[in-house]
């Protein structure tokens, strides 16, 4: 963290040039903040963090080559004290929870006012966690609900790809009855009416994002 009389050094990671430029202009107007770098993907976010060692990284989630959550995990592996603030268009309790688990200090949406973004950067560097109002609402709305397991996510990802139960079982080396059982559990956990509804809810909440462990992996034998 910077000393009080030193400008807070910010690295911006976002794949939209207009967003990067707008954030950079807003930060440049602050007397004790400066942008030391801007990158457009997760790979460069990790590389530039290593090279520049900024005080805080303002991190988008959906970026090419490597997403924001993967970049957060890599940066925290490089520096356990790294300060990272997620700025994204997507809430979703599973997505938010995972970002915080990986080490994000705060999580706010791109609909936030500029002054809120700047204040969040300061707060994060001072050790305070800031969650946007919509983000907090998402977490509270699903508080106490059992999350999908990695095996259930594996099944649901194949459901989202249009696969039928027998095909899913063959892909995952499990019985068709096991597939049916997992889909039943998925519907119950998500309070979904049917398979399509379950996919839509899981996508909104972030369960089908690339960060989820076994989701999208090739066939593995389950016992």
Q: Is 11 helix (H, G, I), strand (E, B) or coil?
A: strand
pTM: 0.81
- The rounded distance, in Å, linking the Cα atoms of 129 and 205 is 21
**Distance between CA atoms of residues 117 and 123, nearest Å:** 10
Give pLDDT, residue 210.
Answer: 74
- Which alpha helices (DSSP H) does the chain contain, by range? 17-28, 42-52, 68-78, 93-102, 114-125, 133-141, 150-160, 165-172, 176-190, 195-205
Copy the structure tokens of residue 61: 């989630």
**Residue 39: helix, strand or coil by DSSP?**
strand
d(CA 74, CA 45): 10
Is-contact 214 150, C-beta < 8 A?
Answer: yes
Domains identified in the chain and CATH numbers: 8-141 (3.40.50.2300), 150-205 (1.10.10.10)
CB 192 within 8 A of CB 198: yes
Spell out the per-residue pLDDT of the chain, length 223, in tens.
444 457 899 999 999 999 999 999 999 999 899 999 999 999 999 999 999 999 999 999 988 888 999 999 999 999 999 999 999 998 889 889 999 999 999 999 999 999 999 999 999 999 999 998 889 988 888 888 889 998 999 999 999 999 999 999 999 999 999 999 999 999 999 999 999 999 999 999 989 987 655 333 333 345 4
> For residue 5, what are the CA distances in angstroms to 1, 8, 116, 126, 128?
11, 9, 22, 14, 19
Q: Is 111 exposed, middle or buried, given 0-12, 13-18 or 19+ CB atoms closer than 10 A?
A: exposed
pLDDT given at position 42:
93
């Amino acid at each position: 963290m910077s000393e009080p009389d030193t400008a807070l050094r910010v690295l911006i990671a976002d794949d939209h040039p207009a967003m990067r430029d707008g954030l950079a202009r807003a930060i440049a107007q602050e007397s004790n903040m400066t942008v030391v770098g801007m990158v457009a993907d997760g790979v460069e976010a990790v590389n530039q963090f290593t090279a520049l060692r900024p005080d805080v990284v303002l991190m988008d989630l959906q970026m090419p080559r490597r997403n924001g959550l993967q970049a957060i995990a890599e940066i925290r592996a490089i520096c356990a004290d790294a300060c990272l603030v997620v700025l994204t268009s997507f809430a979703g309790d599973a997505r938010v929870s995972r970002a915080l688990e990986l080490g994000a200090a705060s999580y706010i949406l791109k609909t936030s006012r500029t002054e809120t973004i700047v204040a969040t950067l300061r707060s994060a560097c001072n050790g305070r966690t800031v969650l946007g109002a919509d983000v907090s609402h998402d977490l509270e709305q699903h508080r106490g609900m059992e999350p999908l397991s990695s095996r259930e996510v594996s099944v649901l990802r194949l459901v989202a790809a249009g696969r039928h139960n027998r095909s899913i079982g063959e892909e995952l080396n499990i019985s068709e009855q096991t597939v049916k059982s997992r889909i039943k559990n998925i519907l119950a956990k998500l309070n979904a009416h049917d398979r399509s509804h379950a996919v839509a809810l899981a996508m909104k909440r972030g369960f089908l994002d690339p960060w989820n462990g076994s989701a999208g992996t090739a066939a593995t034998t389950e016992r």
